[in-house]
Structure formats: structure tokens, C-alpha cells
């Protein structure tokens, strides 16, 4: 995740962060049908209180990134997803990550959030994890205002060997180190594109972050709000897109599956407006020698790969 020269509590255990990047990008979605004609293109966050989501609605997968909504959309319907606010307990016995934790990241400062489409690959996570070991592969959007507050992540993860485990599949997750750690939400099918939106809330406290995923009935489902306010309003705000891989020393670092983890249609947020993340926007990239980001078009279309070079 983000390296500020010190360890942070993550996933229920301490890790030394290997890479720092702030990027805003939309990851590709996969689905059998095109997005609704009235799907949002771009815009600002919601201004009215959220109603409960349709319990039959599920995260919308897309067969191609082009079918996915572009940006958060001020004209979209927002709702509160089932299980909102429920945070499962983290395992107190989760192992400590080693120095090989990998997190190729792209980020930009002075942003209030981002939106994008991410491909849910079928990564090579070991199931079941050997006794005393663990692995996870996650791909997410990440925004924060400071190390001490206003921190939230949203994306998908496949994990085994620590709590919470996703079993043999992928789950949409959120993470907040200041309030409950991991939260697992919907189960999703691999090899599809899913859209996420992470931005300052406008229903409730505008200094907190709200995490959404795009649902099959054309709504954005609110998954979680950050437990703490950001505490800053300008350049200390960061928006990132990244892949995070962790495994114990006794197991090889897992592959990301097939062609890696593509992402697309990434928009950066500034208050009520959003902008496609392009090379003209000041951006920082980090790599770690094992996993890296490969770009089709900086910085809104690319993929994360386990490779020495693109």
C-alpha cells in the first residue's frame, strides 16, 4: 500500500509496506450484457440519504471494460448495500508478513477520491494454504487523507490461511485500519470486470470516505464509510490504484492469473467533478521487481502483471 516510512496495521497484522503509489484508475469489468443505457458516465457523489439496496441486486460483471460505467455519475441511484456496517473480527493469530510483501502502486495527490473498473482474475492462491502459511491477492482503489484518519480501500480479494478467508473464490472487500480492518461483502465470479467508486461522502460527514460498487440494477451500492475523518483538505489527500500480494516465506508469491489484472476507465475525483486519469496529471508510480504495472494508456488503462518487464 502506501509507504510512509513505518509499519501499519493491515488485514489484522503488522506489515512493512513495500511500495508507495497514488493512482486513480478504473478496472475492467466483465459481463454477458451491456450496461444499462442510463448508466452513469461521470459526476459527483450523492447528495441525499441512502435507501436500502434491492436485495436481489448483485455486483454487475462486464465482459469488457468498455461496457462498464465511466466515473461515478451524479445521476446514478445510490443505495446502502446489505451487510453495511458489519465488520467481522480479525484473527489475532494472523502471521506477520515478510519483507517480500508486494504492492505495485500508482497514485496522485490532492484528490478526493477515484473511480474505475477492475478485472477479477483467477489468481494462483494456494487452497488450502499449508498449515502456518497464508496468501492473498487483492486489487483495489485506495484513498486517504492522512496516516491517522480518513483511510478506506475497496476492490476484490482472494485469500487463504488467515482471517477472513474467501475460500476458493473472490470476494468484494473493504479495508479500514482505523475501524474494523477487513470487511468481506459480495462473492463475485472471476474473469469479469467490476466497477468501484471511492470518494468523499456527501450524505453524512463529508470528511469521511464512502466506498461503492456498481450493481446489476444500475445502482451504486454503498459498502462502507471510513471510520475516521480525513483531517486534511488539500495535497495530503491521496488516490491510488494498486495490486497487493502477500504470502509467507515458505510459499512462492502467487501468479495473478492469465494476462494479469487489467484495469480501465479510471477517473480521479476533485469534489463534485471527476477527470480521466491521464499522463498530464502529476502521478507517482512504484514497482518492486516481481509485480509491476503495464500501461496501455497512462494512467487509466493498463494491467498489473507478475513479470520482470512489460
**Residue written as cell 504470502?**
247
pTM exceeds 0.95, yes or no: no
Length of the chain: 310
Region 175-192: mean pLDDT is 90
Comparing 1 with 244, the larger pLDDT belongs to 244
The reported pLDDT for the residue numbered 271 is 77
Question: At 285, is the secondary structure helix, strand, or coil?
Answer: strand
The model's pLDDT over 205-214, given as tens digits with 9 standing for 90+, comes to 888 899 999 9
Comparing 220 with 23, the larger pLDDT belongs to 220
Tell me: pLDDT of 15 over 50.
no
Average pLDDT of the chain, as a whole number: 76
Is 103:268 a contact under the CB 8 Å cutoff? no
Query: 141: Cβ–Cβ under 8 A, 6 or more apart, which residues?
Result: 24, 25, 114, 115, 116, 118, 153, 154, 155, 196, 198, 211, 239, 240, 241
Question: At 65, is the secondary structure helix, strand, or coil?
Answer: helix
Is the preceding omega at residue 307 within 30 degrees of 0, hence cis? no
The reported pLDDT for the residue numbered 145 is 83
The model's pLDDT over 98-124, given as tens digits with 9 standing for 90+, comes to 445 788 899 999 888 999 999 999 999
The reported pLDDT for the residue numbered 164 is 72
The reported pLDDT for the residue numbered 261 is 97
Neighbours of 234 (CB within 10 A): 8
Report residue 249's pLDDT band, with 50, 70 and 90 as the boundaries: low
Q: Minimum mean pLDDT among 4-18, 130-144, 190-204, 279-293: which range? A: 4-18
Tell me: pLDDT of 3 over 60.
no
Report residue 160's pLDDT band, with 50, 70 and 90 as the boundaries: confident
Q: What is the DSSP letter of 29?
A: -
Q: Following CA atoms 256, 59, 159, 192 in sequence, which dihedral angle do they give, to the nearest 10 degrees?
A: -20
The percentage of the chain sitting over the pLDDT mark of 70, rounded to a whole number, equals: 73
Distance from C-alpha of 276 to C-alpha of 265, rounded to nearest angstrom: 7
Report residue 47's pLDDT band, with 50, 70 and 90 as the boundaries: very low
Tell me: pLDDT of 150 over 90.
no
The reported pLDDT for the residue numbered 31 is 26
Amino acid at each position: 500500500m502506501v509507504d510512509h516510512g513505518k509499519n501499519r496495521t493491515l488485514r489484522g497484522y503488522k506489515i512493512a509496506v513495500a511500495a508507495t503509489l497514488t493512482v486513480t484508475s478504473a478496472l475492467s469489468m466483465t459481463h454477458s450484457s451491456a450496461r444499462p443505457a442510463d448508466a452513469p458516465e461521470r459526476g459527483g457523489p450523492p447528495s441525499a440519504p441512502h435507501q436500502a439496496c434491492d436485495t436481489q441486486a448483485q455486483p454487475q460483471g462486464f465482459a469488457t471494460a468498455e461496457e462498464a460505467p465511466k466515473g461515478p455519475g451524479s445521476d446514478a441511484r445510490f443505495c446502502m448495500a446489505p451487510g453495511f456496517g458489519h465488520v467481522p473480527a480479525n484473527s489475532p493469530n494472523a502471521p506477520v508478513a515478510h519483507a517480500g510483501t508486494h504492492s505495485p502502486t500508482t497514485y496522485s495527490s490532492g484528490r478526493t477520491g477515484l473511480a474505475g473498473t477492475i478485472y477479477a482474475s483467477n489468481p494462483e492462491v494456494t487452497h488450502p494454504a499449508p498449515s502456518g502459511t497464508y496468501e492473498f491477492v487483492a486489487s483495489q482503489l485506495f484513498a486517504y487523507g492522512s496516516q491517522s484518519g480518513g483511510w478506506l480501500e475497496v476492490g476484490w480479494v482472494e485469500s487463504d490461511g488467515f482471517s477472513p478467508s474467501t475460500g476458493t473464490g473472490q470476494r468484494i472487500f473493504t479495508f479500514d485500519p482505523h475501524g474494523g480492518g477487513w470487511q468481506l461483502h459480495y462473492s463475485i465470479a472471476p474473469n469479469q470486470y467490476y466497477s468501484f467508486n471511492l470518494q468523499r461522502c456527501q450524505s453524512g460527514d463529508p470528511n469521511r470516505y464512502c466506498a461503492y460498487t456498481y450493481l446489476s440494477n444500475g445502482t451504486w451500492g454503498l459498502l462502507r464509510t471510513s471510520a475516521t475523518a480525513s483531517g486534511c483538505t488539500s495535497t495530503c489527500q491521496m488516490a491510488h490504484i494498486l495490486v497487493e500480494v502477500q504470502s509467507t516465506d515458505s510459499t512462492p508469491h502467487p501468479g495473478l492469473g492469465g494476462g494479469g489484472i487489467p484495469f480501465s476507465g479510471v477517473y480521479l475525483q476533485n469534489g463534485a467533478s471527476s477527470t480521466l486519469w491521464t499522463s498530464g496529471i502529476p502521478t507517482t508510480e512504484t514497482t518492486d521487481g516481481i509485480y509491476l504495472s503495464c500501461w496501455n494508456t497512462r494512467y487509466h488503462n493498463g494491467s498489473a502483471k507478475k513479470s520482470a518487464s512489460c
